[in-house]
Structure 1
Amino acid sequence: MDTFVAIDFETANRERSSVCSIGLVFVEGGQITDTYYRLIRPLPNYYSRFNTEVHGLTARDTNTAASFDEVWRELLPRIGSLPLVAHNSSFDEGCLRAVLAAYGLPPHQNAFFCTCRQARRVFPRLPNHRLDTVARHVGYRLDHHHHALADAEACAYIALRVF
Structure 2
Amino acid sequence: MREIVLDTETTGIDPLNGDRVVEIGCVELFNHVATGKHYHTYLNPERDMPAEAEAVHGLSAAFLSDKPLFPAIVGDFLAFIADAPLVIHNASFDVGFLNMELVRIGMGKLSNPVVDTVKIARKRFPGAPASLDALCRRFDIDNSNRTLHGALLDSQLLAEVYLELMGGRQPDLVLAGSPAQNRAALDAGVIRSDRTFRPARPHAPAPDELAAHETFVKGLKNAAWLAS
Q: What is the TM-score with the length of structure 2 in the denominator? A: 0.66
Q: Which moved more, 1:141-150 or 1:91-100?
A: 141-150
Q: Is the 8 A contact 2:57 2:150 kept in 1?
A: yes
- Segments of 5+ residues of structure 1 without an aligned counterpart are none
User: Using CA pairs below 8 Å that are at least 6 residues apart, which structure has the higher relative contact order?
Assistant: 1
Find the residue that maps to 1:51 and give its secondary structure: helix
Q: Which moved more, 1:6-15 or 1:102-111?
A: 6-15
Q: Is the 8 A contact 1:135 1:158 kept in 2?
A: yes
Q: What is the TM-score with the length of structure 1 in the denominator? A: 0.90
Among all aligned residue pairs of Structure 1 and Structure 2, give the percentage whose two residues are the same amino acid: 28
User: Using the alignment, how far apart are the partners of 2:104 and 2:48 within structure 1?
Assistant: 15
- What do the CA deviations read for 1:63-122 (whole angstroms, capped 9, x no partner)? 111111222211211211000011111111111111111222221110111101101112
The corresponding residue for 2:121 is 119
- What's the offset of the Cα at 1:162? 2.0
- What's the offset of the Cα at 1:59? 1.0
Q: Is the 8 A contact 2:39 2:80 kept in 1?
A: no
- Segments of 5+ residues of structure 2 without an aligned counterpart are 167-228
- What's the offset of the Cα at 1:3? 3.0
Superposed CA RMSD: 1.6
Q: Is the 8 A contact 2:136 2:142 kept in 1?
A: yes
Q: Does 2:80 correspond to 1:57?
A: no
Picking from 52, 69, 72, the partner of 1:70 is 72
**Total equivalences in the alignment:** 160
Q: Of the two, which has the highest radius of gyration?
A: 2
Q: Which runs of 4+ in 1 moved over 2 A?
A: 13-17, 123-126
- What do the CA deviations read for 1:14-68 (whole angstroms, capped 9, x no partner)? 44251001111111122111122211111x5221111011111011111111111
User: Using the alignment, how far apart are the partners of 2:165 and 2:9 within structure 1?
Assistant: 24
Q: Does 2:164 correspond to 1:161?
A: yes
Greater share of residues in strand? 1
Find the residue that maps to 2:97 and give its secondary structure: helix
